[in-house]
Structure 1
Amino acid sequence: MSVTIRRLEDGSRAAWDRFVEATPAATFFHRTGWADAVQRAFGHTPHYIFAERDGAVTGVLPLIRVRTRLFGDTLISNAFCVYGGVAAVDDDSAAALVAEAEALRESLGVSAVELRDREPVTEAARGRGWIERPDLYVTFRKPIDADNEKNMKAIPRKQRAMVRKAISLGLTSVVGTDAGALYPVYAESVRNLGTPVFSRRWFDTLMAVFGEDADIVTILNKDRPVASVMNFYFRDEVLPYYGGGTSEARACAANDFMYWEVMRRAADRGYRVFDFGRSKIDTGAFAFKHNWGFPDARLHYRFKLAPGQGIPDHNPANPKYRLFIKGWKKLPLPVANAVGPFIVRGLG
């Protein structure tokens, strides 16, 4: 039977999320809750579309229009996510969704559509005239065991020594749902990297939307929060997503201990895949994840551009942001926290 493309409405949300839960190509970031969170926190407009055949969902494509004066006007699947793109059970459904995304780009007048595919796309589902970004991002995913002693031994020796150092120094972890401990730690961490911080509202919104499928693990050094991370849970996977450490964290190996505690707690709860997330090739984060023994896998980001437009390049590796990053690192933290949210809402 032929494929029909529909817009997501309240009456189709349950069917969409059931499809996402059951479809291997789908990720946490394909869930309808992500559209709610982005719209509430940033005011961006979702354009979620799905393929249907004989009344059954056969593919989904979560698109969000991110439009700001600083960074232009783009449809992204999915905005503020490391994964997205088409999740479908067959090439016909995937191709129909891609064609609808192309039509949306034209009707809305946006400069580009960006699909953040985790896996390679078949030729039949790709569409015409799409450009894949040259190698920039990879992701790190690895199975974890029910036995945490095995998980500890699977960490390469030098990195395992850092985790044991933190344990010997008496660091402890707490888990909760309040972003109050996470936000100041995360804000300091990204300022030190020269990156604008999200608003506190974004973190509160994510926790409110995803409920028991999210938590925050915070590392304490003598009752002082020194590292913290927000984690998402999907099927049998745990995804530590927004995390960082204070200037004190490096000396006491708090970041290493933080990821160990996320892994340990997730394994105890029955999760069997640890998704260490996206990193740029040949960066410090890239090396850190390799040092944990995680293999990297290339991410496949592709673009359909309006005539005369280039691939959006709003990442810190872009040389034109070098002076901005250098200056941002020197900002007083209250200033960075006040200004950052107005900038970062357009980065998508």
Structure 2
Amino acid sequence: MTMEISALKSIEQTNRNQWNHVVETAPHGTLFHRYEWLQAVEDGTDREPRHLVASKKGNPVGVFPNVITSIGPVKRLDSLYPGFGGPLAITDEETVLETFLEVVPELCDGRTLFNRIRTYDQAAIRNHALFREFGYEIDVKWCRVALDLTQGWESLLEGMDRTRRRGIKRGHDQSLEISEEPVTVRSLSQFYEDYEAVMTRADLPVLSHTFFIALRHLANRLKLFAIDIDGVRRGWMLCYCDEEQSTLHYAYSGVRSEHFEYHASELLHEHAIQWGIEHGFETYDLLRTPPDFRDGLFNFKTQFGGQTVPLLSWERGVPKPALPALKLARTIAAR
């Protein structure tokens, strides 16, 4: 049966239900593959979509979300940022993936000289041999910290570093209230003010206000928790509900440094973990951090216990010599 490949310059060029059916059916589909997430990235960032769809008799059997990003003066066909990607197939997996990878060079024109596949699920390692056959090289620049919620709260608390346990205990010596805020333009804008301050202080890239407003496309897949201590708002936390992977993702913090003394971060994480347990999620994911024990963010997240999981990515030059040139430029820049 003939395999048809379509290249989309907007997620709106495909049927929402058909696209999401592939994501929900494929074993490694995630929230970040969903139509609604791609719509938020498209509406809320300047990324140029270059999604691929594989179909048989007009029915999608595979999807491969991508966007164009910049690396200095050149561009890259990239898995999603924000978010993660990688190809998915629900039938004839080898044929679908090979066809996607054969089409990639057609999406790389002009100054677009590279393709990077950034995956969330470590099980994507099963694709490594195939990716390598098409000239991809594997890399690990980030990791994530995942807590097994099936253990229950008491077991998770016991497995935390004493610094985190002490923070939670001391936090409960105050008068506090944690609420689940409705996800509206107003609440997302209020959260964004604190998020922006947090990221700026940490000297980290700040996503646009437009992106956070566009997250409304995800509807009930967002959870916005706020903490009040002694009647004063001391911070927020935004989480994603990844039902495809039975995972509650801690996504962004809105706890400013002046509220650290109230242990607002630890209390929000405690609440989110317990909420995840109560609602049947199997994993609480603190998302990405540099895989470096000397890094403050890595240490903060790993102190909650859990498993440190490498985030795998594969990169390919189009044409092939472009990748060594990029690596040389990175080495020179690092020096």
TM-score, normalising length from structure 1?
0.80
Amino acid at match of 1:222: D
Where does structure 2 lack aligned partners over 5 or more consecutive residues?
A: none
Q: Secondary structure at the match of 2:276?
A: helix
TM-superposed deviation, 1:280: 0.5
Alpha-carbon displacement from aligned partner over 1:142-189 (angstroms, at most 9, x marks no partner): 320385444434434442221121122233312121213321221111
Q: 2:326 aligns with which of 298, 310, 315?
A: 310
Distance in 2 between residues matched to 1:258 and 1:205, nearest whole Å: 24
Aligned to 2:190: 181
Q: 1:213 aligns with which of 221, 231, 238?
A: 221
Q: Is the 8 Å Cα contact of residues 44 and 211 (structure 2) preserved in structure 1? A: yes
What pairs with 1:230-245 in structure 2 (closer than 5 Å)? Answer: 230-235=238-243, 236-245=246-255
Alpha-carbon displacement from aligned partner over 1:256-275 (angstroms, at most 9, x marks no partner): 11111111122222222112
Q: Secondary structure at the match of 1:233?
A: strand
TM-superposed deviation, 1:31: 1.0
C-alpha change, 1:180 and 1:124, in structure 2 (3 Å) is closer
Distance in 2 between residues matched to 1:175 and 1:237, nearest whole Å: 18
Alpha-carbon displacement from aligned partner over 1:46-105 (angstroms, at most 9, x marks no partner): 11112234554332210112358x564222111222x21122342221121122223211
Q: Does 1:261 align with 2:271?
A: yes
Q: Is the 8 Å Cα contact of residues 136 and 314 (structure 2) preserved in structure 1? A: yes
TM-superposed deviation, 1:3: 3.4
TM-superposed deviation, 1:253: 1.6
What pairs with 1:291-310 in structure 2 (closer than 5 Å)? Answer: 291-306=303-318, 307-308=321-322, 309-310=325-326
Paired positions, count: 312
Q: Does 1:203 align with 2:212?
A: yes
TM-superposed deviation, 1:230: 1.4
C-alpha change, 1:108 and 1:25, in structure 2 (3 Å) is farther
Q: Is the 8 Å Cα contact of residues 146 and 272 (structure 1) preserved in structure 2? A: no
Distance in 2 between residues matched to 1:312 and 1:204, nearest whole Å: 38
Q: 1:193 aligns with which of 178, 202, 221?
A: 202
Q: 2:51 aligns with which of 36, 48, 52?
A: 48
Distance in 1 between residues matched to 2:28 and 2:134, nearest whole Å: 21
Q: Is the 8 Å Cα contact of residues 95 and 126 (structure 1) preserved in structure 2? A: no
Q: Does 1:117 align with 2:119?
A: yes
TM-superposed deviation, 1:239: 0.7
TM-superposed deviation, 1:13: 2.5
Aligned to 1:159: 164
Amino acid at match of 1:4: E
Amino acid at match of 1:310: L
Alpha-carbon displacement from aligned partner over 1:229-281 (angstroms, at most 9, x marks no partner): 21111212111112242112322221111111111122222222112111101
Q: Is the 8 Å Cα contact of residues 91 and 125 (structure 1) preserved in structure 2? A: no
Q: Is the 8 Å Cα contact of residues 146 and 268 (structure 1) preserved in structure 2? A: no
Query: Percent sequence identity over matched residues?
Result: 19
Distance in 2 between residues matched to 1:298 and 1:61, nearest whole Å: 21
TM-superposed deviation, 1:110: 0.6
Q: Secondary structure at the match of 1:175?
A: strand
What pairs with 1:1-348 in structure 2 (closer than 5 Å)? Answer: 1-8=1-8, 10-53=13-56, 55-67=58-70, 72-81=74-83, 83-89=84-90, 90-105=93-108, 107=109, 109-118=111-120, 119-120=124-125, 121-133=127-139, 135-145=140-150, 147-176=152-181, 177=183, 178-206=187-215, 208-235=216-243, 236-282=246-292, 283-306=295-318, 307-308=321-322, 309-310=325-326, 319=334
Distance in 2 between residues matched to 1:302 and 1:35, nearest whole Å: 21
Amino acid at match of 1:230: L
Q: Is the 8 Å Cα contact of residues 35 and 64 (structure 1) preserved in structure 2? A: no
Q: Is the 8 Å Cα contact of residues 149 and 284 (structure 2) preserved in structure 1? A: yes
C-alpha change, 1:30 and 1:311, in structure 2 (3 Å) is farther
Q: Is the 8 Å Cα contact of residues 115 and 302 (structure 1) preserved in structure 2? A: yes
Distance in 2 between residues matched to 1:276 and 1:111, nearest whole Å: 32
Instruction: Please provide the CA RMSD for this pair.
Output: 2.6
C-alpha change, 1:247 and 1:231, in structure 2 (3 Å) is same
Q: Is the 8 Å Cα contact of residues 69 and 77 (structure 2) preserved in structure 1? A: yes
TM-score, normalising length from structure 2?
0.83
C-alpha change, 1:299 and 1:196, in structure 2 (3 Å) is closer
Q: Secondary structure at the match of 2:259?
A: coil
